[in-house]
Amino acid sequence: MATLKSYGVRLGESTHQFPLPNRGDNYKSRRNAKWRSPQAAVIPNFHLPMRSFEVKNRTSSEDIKSLRLITAIKTPYLPDGRFDLEAYDGLVNMQIENGAEGVIVGGTTGEGQLMSWDEHIMLIGHTVNCFGGSIKVIGNTGSNSTREAIHATEQGFAVGMHAALHINPYYGKTSLEGLVSHFDSVLPMGPTIIYNVPSRTGQDIPPRVINTVAQSPNLAGVKECVGNDRIEQYTDNGIVVWSGNDDQCHDARWSHGATGVISVTSNLIPGLMRELMFGGKNPSLNVKLLPLIEWLFEEPNPIGLNTALAQLGVVRPVFRLPYVPLPLAKRVEFVNLVRQIGRQNFVGEKDVQVLDNDDFILVGRY
């Protein structure tokens, strides 16, 4: 067999020799000069926000500040784990009919943490398209990644959401200066609610941070879960706050200056929650609702809500893992709570049921 010859040329070798040009002293001086980065890389704010100033259908932060009852809407599923848009539309319609003024789409209650960003933005766009003329649509486009938060917020406003909900970076926590930079990166895009829930993020957003970012006209306000003392601290300084705790929202609204509530319980009893926010001090109604609210949050949200809505027959009993339904004894408790408060005050028209364990579908891949 003939030996194949190599025609490769090693570095440093050449079959031809070409004379080097005479570069002179100018080449030597440039060669010895200190390297400088390209100018574009150091221009501040070089990455401009992808935003529109078309005002025909835009919502201002002032429009958001006036909302009293905002529901963190549940996302229902089909048996294969995809969105059940028919059931979702029914839930939103029931909120509108019972006086809710806004919905949070894809929040913790709506299980945004279990959605792909494609699903997330699609659901925001669907909600705007179907209901945007009747209720304010606030998209949860927050993330612990500033890059993701920017991108999702750009897309959310592009599909028509009225405001964005932003959480502080969780798990991979940052400094207070980092929190300010994170929020400053998304505030220029449109009306924004900042969400403070240290029990989930592992980090409190202190007043120092909120007071700094409140200089932006796009800060609509804060969803505050630390408590009513913190709420009053903000409202005394003219910052709009919604209570993030259903069990404290009555006192927050009527004794501590909160504008209203961003509520989980209103998924179930929107009319009574509206009464709690609009009807003046009503300690008797508040006391009446507390057992239901306590039941809802005995396990991490949205486990209780998902179970309750399935028992009321307004969504299919489908859970995206890692969420699983409440045990049988708790489901029996809910049936009794519905009877005490009155079935007519809850969403849906079917009789409340306990449901068997086998009725629930748990989906890990979807």
CA angle 199-203-209, nearest 5°? 125
pLDDT at 188: 95
Domain 61-279, CATH homologous superfamily name and number: Aldolase class I (3.20.20.70)
Q: What confidence score (pLDDT) does residue 39 get?
A: 55
Closest CA to 196 of 188, 187, 204: 204
Alpha carbons 327 and 349: distance in angstroms, whole number? 24
Domain ranges of the chain: 61-279
Contact predicate 89/73, CB 8 Å: no
Question: Per the structure block, which two tokens stand in for 21?
Answer: 């040009």
Q: Look up 77 and say whether it is catalytic.
A: no
Kind plus residue range of the DSSP H or E element containing 242 = strand 241-243
Calpha distance 217→187 (Å, rounded): 9
Which of 77, 88, 195, 323 is the catalytic position?
195
- For the chain, the distance separating the N- and C-terminal CA atoms, rounded to the nearest angstrom, is 59
Q: Of 272, 261, 360, 256, which is closest to residue 316 (Cα–Cα)?
A: 360
Name the packing angle between helices 328-341 and 303-311 (round to 10°): 70
With vertex at residue 120, the alpha carbon angle to CA 263 and CA 185, rounded to the nearest 5 degrees, is 85
Residue 170 annotated to the active site: no
Yes or no: say if 323 and 309 are a contact pair by the CB < 8 Å rule: no
pTM of the model: 0.86
The position carrying tokens 């809407």 is 73
pLDDT score for 58: 74
Instruction: Report d(CA 140, CA 153) in Å as an integer.
Output: 8
Q: pLDDT tens digits, the chain, 366 residues: what are they?
A: 444 444 344 434 444 454 555 555 555 555 566 666 555 554 555 566 666 666 545 789 999 999 999 999 999 999 999 999 999 999 999 999 999 999 999 999 999 999 999 999 999 999 999 999 999 999 999 999 999 999 999 999 999 999 999 999 999 999 999 999 999 999 999 999 999 999 999 999 999 999 999 999 999 999 999 999 999 999 999 999 999 999 999 999 999 999 999 999 999 999 999 999 999 999 999 999 999 999 999 999 999 999 999 999 999 999 999 999 999 999 999 999 999 999 999 999 999 999 999 999 999 999
* Angle separating helix axes 328-341 and 283-296, nearest 10 degrees: 160
CB atoms within 10 A of CB 288: 16
Q: Which two tokens stand for residue 103?
A: 């919905």
Catalytic residue among 77, 223, 234, 323: 223
